Amino acid sequence: SSELTQDPAVSVALGQTVRITCQGDTLRSYYASWYQQKPGQAPILVIYGKNNRPSGIPDRFSGSSSGNTASLTITGAQAEDEADYYCNSRDSSGNHYVFGTGTKVTVL
């Protein structure tokens, strides 16, 4: 079973803000990363570390963390942001990675 828990699905109106959360005890020790996966495509990194965006990722994506919860916020969601989002971090041993259960984001 996954050590990182996400809500299965969220929806957001076009142009509005949505927050996706990831909960797990290991997040008290390690930052989460966030990945976007569109149907039929490989995941891509959107946020890592405290709040870092790789080159090419729009600044409407941001990350934050508090206690055992990491969050990914999309401010001003666009139609192209409709995708599955996964968090990941190290597991409780620190020697392996683990993924969250995934959140399907629908842009209405």
Partner 1 sequence: EVQLVQSGAEVKKPGESLKISCKGSGYSFTSYWIGWVRQMPGKGLEWMGIIYPGDSDTRYSPSFQGQVTISADKSISTAYLQWSSLKASDTAMYYCARVPSGWETIDYWGQGTLVTVSS
Interface residues with partner 1 (CB under 8 A)?
2, 31, 33, 35, 37, 42-45, 48-49, 54, 84, 86, 88, 90, 95-102
What CA–CA distance (Å, rounded) separates 48 from 15? 24
Pair type for strands 97-99 and 44-47? unpaired
The nearest distance, CB 71 to partner 1, in angstroms, is 16
Q: Between 13 and 33, name the residue whose CB sits nearer to partner 1.
A: 33
Per-residue b or e along 40-60, where b marks 16 or more CB atoms closer than 10 Å to that residue's CB: eeebeebbbeeeebeeeeeee
Q: CB nearer to partner 1: give 97 or 106.
A: 97
Q: How far is the CB of 90 from partner 1 (least distance, A)?
A: 7
